[in-house]
Amino acid sequence: MRKFIQELDRKGQLKKVDRVNPRDISSFLSQAKSPILMQHVEGYENFRIFGGVFTTRDMTAQVLNCDPRRMAQAFNEIMKQRWAPTIQETGPVKEQIFLGDDADLTRLPIPLMHCGDGGPYITGGVVIANDPDYGTNLGMYRLMYRKKNETGIDLVYASDLRFYYERALEQGKPLKISVAIGVHPALMMASTYKAPLGVSEYDIAGGLLGEPVPVVKSELSDIMVPAEAEIVLEGEILPIGWTEQEGPFGEFAGYQGESKWNPIVRFQAITMRRDPIYYALAMPWENDYLLAASTEAACLNAINHAGVKACEVRSTIGGACFWHIIASIDKRAGEGRNALMAMLTIGGVKFAVVTDSDVDIFDSDQVDRAMVFRTRPDKDIIIVNGARANHVDPSVAAWLLPKGALPVTGKIGIDATRPENVPKERYQLIRPYRENIVNLEGNES
């Protein structure tokens, strides 16, 4: 992450704040329109705070080193170049080691993120776990501070970590985890990708970085953690199931969430650099743009696997880059419907729109025009019932479910491609007469 910060600084893309009160961390993050480095934290003099990387589509594309319109294509190309991590004896994250009672979470400048939150939250941690059959998994999960060695963890929705935990819970055993805070944004992006079980997100991160991720063994388990992380917390998810209150929290949908039943994590070790940089991930935009590339890549793949030629894909920020996806295709007869059905198989997608390649899907006005004038509501809208939902969506009323239950919802698809019986010429846009003959700028008085 430090190399990434240095590169931002070199390009003039880094906002710097000399000193910050810990109570003001969230406010500074929300006001920054670019990555921000807070260089001194009152009461935590050895710490710096970094955040705001995933606040725009352009910055997210910069992590992928690609055109902002082609994040899905770039992500898929990078996925072909996986690098397994390299194991080291030690690394910078081992410069300080705190065990037992010394593994005190109050050493960290954990901020209160939103007005309605149930407590301070660790929001930018990559949670790493092992399963004897499925190997290593990385994901990003929020952790609500409870006391000096305990946090809650949000496991109410379907995920690989939840699957690992359920397997351990069936045996009455805790699930050991390590939490890496302050890693390269590429590792964070890889951790949000819905990789198949058995595929390590470390390998995906290596592809994103163009080199293997160096890892070291955790102090108290066999879990391998990023050697160059700023901070690593080591602990276990207690085998108590969904029995303790966690939240409320400001969710990535942009709404203040409710309190939920969740498991508890108890920590026994903290390792960190001598002068650690704490990564504070701000809701909702950072979480949203962090999801954008993987959501778009999954939809692009689904459309292509359905035998339809996808041109461009865009997840909308209004849909949190998760629930609402728009795609353009080179269409043959019936393929608008086929593309829609493929898009709706993606777990998070609730609202899908497909249109023709002559529509610029990054121009909302063009998308609206296509939906109005190419869609026949009685024929071109698909509604699917009983699909898997995400508890963050208020419309699913997840707070009414039993402890640990997963919500369901409906999905909608809109085929805004040109109907087969309507000639292409009927969608030719009007053009001003002699538009290329005269130039207003050269004739202004």
Q: How many CB atoms lie within 10 A of CB 3?
A: 9
End-to-end CA separation in angstroms for the chain? 54
pLDDT bracket for residue 67 (50, 70, 90): very high
Find out whether 266 and 295 touch, Cβ atoms under 8 Å. Answer: no
Find out whether 153 and 261 touch, Cβ atoms under 8 Å. Answer: no
Superfamily name with CATH number, domain 288-420: UbiD C-terminal domain-like (3.40.1670.10)
pLDDT at 18 over 70: yes
Among 48-52, 64-68, 139-143, 267-271, which is the least confidently predicted range?
64-68
pLDDT at site 444? 59
DSSP letter at 356 equals E
Mean pLDDT, rounded, for 256-270: 93
pLDDT bracket for residue 156 (50, 70, 90): confident
> With pLDDT > 70 as the criterion, what percentage of the chain qualifies?
99
DSSP letter at 111 equals P
Place of tokens 């969904």: 242
pLDDT at 445 over 60: no
Task: Return the H-helix or E-strand segment holding 43.
Answer: none
Q: CA–CA separation, 141 vs 432, rounded Å? A: 53
Q: CA–CA separation, 355 vs 357, rounded Å? A: 7
CATH domain 2-285 topology: Pnp Oxidase; Chain A (2.30.110)
Find out whether 326 and 292 touch, Cβ atoms under 8 Å. Answer: no
Find out whether 153 and 246 touch, Cβ atoms under 8 Å. Answer: yes
In the three-class reduction of DSSP (H, G, I as helix; E, B as strand; rest coil), residue 167 is classed as helix
**pLDDT, tens digit (0-9, with 9 covering 90-100), for 355-364:** 999 999 999 9
Q: How many CB atoms lie within 10 A of CB 266?
A: 15
Among 42-46, 170-174, 288-292, which is the least confidently predicted range?
288-292
Q: CA–CA separation, 401 vs 397, rounded Å? A: 8
Find out whether 139 and 152 touch, Cβ atoms under 8 Å. Answer: no
Task: Return the H-helix or E-strand segment holding 293.
Answer: helix 285-305
Q: pTM to 2 decimals?
A: 0.86
| Residue, of 35 and 156, whose pLDDT is higher | 35
Q: CA–CA separation, 287 vs 411, rounded Å? A: 22
Q: Cα-atom radius of gyration of the chain, to the nearest Å? A: 23
Q: CA–CA separation, 121 vs 180, rounded Å? A: 14
pLDDT at site 266? 98
pLDDT at 302 over 80: yes
Q: Per residue, what are the HEC states of 361-425?
A: CCCHHHHHHHHHHHCCCCCCEEEEEEEECCCCCHHHCHHHCCCCCCCEEEEEEEEECCCCCCCHH
Find out whether 182 and 279 touch, Cβ atoms under 8 Å. Answer: yes
How far is Cα of residue 439 from the mean position of the Cα atoms in its chain?
A: 46
**pLDDT, tens digit (0-9, with 9 covering 90-100), for 84-121:** 999 999 999 999 999 999 999 999 999 999 999 999 99
Give domain limits for the chain. 2-285, 288-420
**pLDDT, tens digit (0-9, with 9 covering 90-100), for 305-339:** 999 999 999 999 888 888 899 999 999 899 999 99
Choose among 160, 152, 104: nearest CA to 131.
Answer: 160
Which residues, at least 6 apart from 7, have a Cβ–Cβ distance to it below 8 Å? Answer: none
